Amino acid sequence: GGSDSFYLYVGVPKKANKTGIMFNSAEDVSEYLIKEAHISTVPWDDEGQYLRFSATFMAKNKDDEYRVIEEMKKRLKALELQF
């Protein structure tokens, strides 16, 4: 158990196939993710277009850690992002 942290930097997607929305910046994607999937990211447009995903959470065990990561994957996959 204990506190776990997860960080991931990715280039921004071009569009969300689910809604057809096109993205022009990391800021656009970040706003979309918070509204559509309740996922907060840090947009980074200064040195290219990137997003930082991070999660800090308390997990009882490895199964609990995997449950949190799987939930994030499920929410992102449902948006049908196109890179």
Q: Give tens-digit pLDDT for 7-61.
A: 889 999 999 998 999 999 999 999 999 999 998 999 999 888 999 988 777 888 8
- Burial of 32-44, coded b for 16+ CB within 10 Å and e otherwise, reads bbeeeeebebebb
Is pLDDT above 80 for 6?
Answer: no
What pLDDT score does 59 carry? Answer: 82
3-state DSSP percent of the chain in helix, strand and coil, to 5 = 35, 35, 30
Q: How many residues does the chain have?
A: 83
- How far apart are the C-alpha atoms of 73 and 79, rounded to whole Å? 10
- Name the pTM for this structure: 0.80
> Helices marked H in 1-83 — which ranges?
26-37, 62-78
